[in-house]
């Protein structure tokens, strides 16, 4: 998707959510400001779904990325938040309310042959008994935050743990 075809409402939503994100990685806010000037790859969005004890996170098993949060490409006409919700429903069958503050904003490539793009991570807290409806060929499971998992994005484990701690602080659970 070329930037000049991206709906201005969508781009502005990405800017606002990147500014509101609890954490920033890879100089993402500055990257987004410069991306405004030219062609840009599609945005990406994902959801970090935590259990009520903030001890586990929902991950999907991608065929070559390993265990990653549910997410993917933001489609034309949808905001990153809308894309994150849609991807979460498609990949895990979940439809929880996303927390108001985006969890993080980062710049990364989702495939070795693809250029980098902006990725926004959102968060939600659900009952651990909530059933999953996995996408065909992509298992979904709760993963403990005190254990690691195999992923092509090894920094995600620490980032997700840190955000769970931030949510606990917001809820008064230190």
Is residue 5 over pLDDT 70? Answer: no
- pLDDT, tens digit (0-9, with 9 covering 90-100), for 125-139: 999 999 999 999 999
**Domain definitions of the chain by residue range:** 3-170
1: pLDDT confidence band, cut at 50, 70 and 90?
A: very low
Q: Is 145 exposed, middle or buried (0-12, 13-18, 19+ CB in 10 A)?
A: buried
Please tell me whether residue 51 adopts helix, strand or coil conformation: strand
- pLDDT, tens digit (0-9, with 9 covering 90-100), for 49-87: 999 999 999 999 998 889 999 999 999 889 999 999 999
Give CATH superfamily name and number for 3-170.
Nucleoside Triphosphate Pyrophosphohydrolase (3.90.79.10)
């Amino acid at each position: 998707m070329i930037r000049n075809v991206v709906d201005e409402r969508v781009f502005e939503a990405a800017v606002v959510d990147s500014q509101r994100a609890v954490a920033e990685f890879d100089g993402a806010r500055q990257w987004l400001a410069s991306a405004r000037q030219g062609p840009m790859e599609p945005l990406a969005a994902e959801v970090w779904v935590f259990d009520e004890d903030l001890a586990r996170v929902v991950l999907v098993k991608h065929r070559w990325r390993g265990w990653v949060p549910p997410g993917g490409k933001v489609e034309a006409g949808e905001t990153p938040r809308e894309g994150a919700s849609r991807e979460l429903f498609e990949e895990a069958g979940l439809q929880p309310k996303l927390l108001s503050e985006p969890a993080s904003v980062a710049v990364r490539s989702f495939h070795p042959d693809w250029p980098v793009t902006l990725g926004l991570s959102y968060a939600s807290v659900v009952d651990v008994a909530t059933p999953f409806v996995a996408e065909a060929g992509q298992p979904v499971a709760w993963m403990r935050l005190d254990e690691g998992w195999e992923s092509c994005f090894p920094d995600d484990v620490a980032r997700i743990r840190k955000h769970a701690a931030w949510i606990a602080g917001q809820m008064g659970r230190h």
